[in-house]
Chains A and B, each alone.
Chain A
Amino acid sequence: MTVAKRVVLHFPPRLVEKPIIYHLVKDHNLVLNILKASVTPKEEGLLVLELSGARKDYDKGIRYLTEAGVRIQSLGQDVIRNEARCTHCGACVAICPTGALALDPTTRRVNFYPDKCTACELCVLACPPRAMEVHF
């Protein structure tokens, strides 16, 4: 089984000059696509990656990063809802694969549960008033 996930990596200053990503790719057989990078010597580095590969390689790669001292954040917590734009129409609820966007049966309002969101981003363009936003 393969996985493809988007993660935010925070590198403490001591790791910025080490070839961490080289080892992530070479030793763990993962494919990566850099979505955003901000690296300045002696300061915290930030890297947003799409990582894909076999499930067990992915898990090992994440373990390697954690053990090396990289702080990993899932992108999940970074899809947010612009409350002022959401009209609570409900177009998103059939699109969201995890139930993070779900209708309250009494009020008919759409509830957003960020803890269930996997940042697949399917809702972002499917939302007619474009209330779902990706924040890095």
Chain B
Amino acid sequence: MTKTIAEINEKIRKGQAVVVTAEEVIDLVKKKGVEKAAQEVDVVTTGTFGPMCSSGAYFNLGHSKPKIKVGGGRAYLNDVPVYTGLAAVDIFLGATALPDDDPRNRVHPGPFNYGGGHVIEELVAGKDVRLAVTAYGTDCYPRKRLETWINIKDMNEAVLFDIRNAYQNYNVAVNLSDRTLYTYMGVLKSNLGNANYSTAGQLSPLFNDPYYKTIGIGTRIFLGGGIGYVAWHGTQHNPSVPRSDNGVPRTGAGTLAVIGDLKQMKPQWLVGTSMLGYGCTLTVGIGVPIPILSEEILRYTTVKDEDIFAPIVDYSEAYPQRSPDILGEVSYGELKSGRIPIQGKEVPTASLSSYPKAVEIANTLKEWIQKGEFLLTDPVAPLPGVEAGITFKPLQERPIEE
């Protein structure tokens, strides 16, 4: 049995496509078997909703009168600095950017109440934000200062462009030390007080297509409540890690770079986020449809939490010191039971990625496809797979001799 994306799209247009979520497909295949289910099911939808720091957006502000060269100057949106090293009125705002006067960790742990991710959420919510610019002035761009309210609807372009999202697997973070740690994996209590994890497990996009057989450059996706596309493989994309028999990586592996028009996204799917003692970020909602082109592809989507394993990493020593040591491996089934044993201790677990929201994303995408509003795309190029032989390089420092 094989299908093409064109055939699936034809069924979607006619409102006849059979779409199930990556959660629903597990029982369906158990009941009907792979062969029968692969004939019936056209698309499996996935979802994930977690903090993703390598997120950001670029904007074209429009030209003021007289004109100002924001490029090479300094610019702020609601006091959060943006990158201006581009043409006159193009800027880039990163999710982790902080106001210059944010106290950071001077009093540890800093609260990090407001940063780039929060500005993105407010813009998407349609709120006015304050734009403040200082520039050096040129013959063609004479103005040196600009302060104004600005709204996303008045910008020429507002584009979400996340260079690393949807990590295929991630560490389970614990703390072996005797003091509380404040990390990007949340608050980690001393002496194995808790174990924090951050993926949607069986619903997460790349767990359901572990070898990137359908997800590639140009794949149309649910992004931030609207429509987006896979732009490239994400930074740190590393397919060459140990995998289980089902193909699922046993540690952080593939990633996606994604892009989409921010103006059609929704604030409940792009949430400004504060990690105590660590910084600001953006929680991003992503859902990827997987076309069931063959039995093999269907089989991958039936992966269960019990069959996905993640490494347990100590964030007091191993993580900051870049040591490869892990304290063991644990399945998402065990993590979701609420407690896992580590070094003979029962450790309570907590998630940073919202499973109920991942379910909502997968269901929303399913509805869009069932209603014929969302067609699938053929990728224009694949993501680098295992065969690409990518190695994940650490930074080798070389002393600079003066």
Contact = CB atoms under 8 A, between A and B. Distances in A.
Contacts of B350: 90-95
Contacts of A87: 49, 271, 283, 354, 357
B115 to A, nearest CB: 12
Interface residues of B, number: 33
Contacts of A105: 338
Interface stretch (B78-86, B187-195, B294-302): B187-195
Interface string A35-65: 0000000000000000000000000000000
A129 B121 CA distance: 11
Contact of A94 (B49, B51, B111, B196): B196
A71 interface: no
B356 A128 contact: no
B283 A94 contact: no
Contact of A129 (B271, B336, B353, B359): B271
Nearest to B267: A84
A2 interface: no
Contacts, number: 75
A88 interface: yes
Interface string A64-105: 000000000000000000000101111111110000000101
A85 B354 CA distance: 13
A27 to B, nearest CB: 36
Main SS class of interface, A: loop
A33 interface: no
Given A103-B338, A128-B51, A88 B356 contact: yes
B124 interface: no
Contacts of A14: none
Contacts of B16: none
Interface stretch (B66-74, B94-102, B215-223, B273-281): B273-281
Contacts of B275: 128
Contacts of B193: 94
Among B187, B194, B348, the one with the most A-chain Cβ atoms within 10 Å of its Cβ is: B187
Among B113, B283, B355, the one with the most A-chain Cβ atoms within 10 Å of its Cβ is: B355
A89 B111 contact: no
Contact of B354 (A88, A95, A125, A126): A88
B352 interface: yes
Interface in B161-209: 186-187, 189, 193-196
Contacts of A88: 354-357
18 contacts: A87-B49, A87-B354, A87-B357, A88-B355, A88-B357, A89-B352, A91-B350, A92-B350, A93-B348, A107-B356, A125-B109, A126-B186, A126-B276, A128-B51, A128-B283, A128-B352, A129-B272, A129-B274
Given A91-B186, A109-B356, 5 more contacts: A91-B350, A108-B355, A108-B356, A108-B359, A129-B283
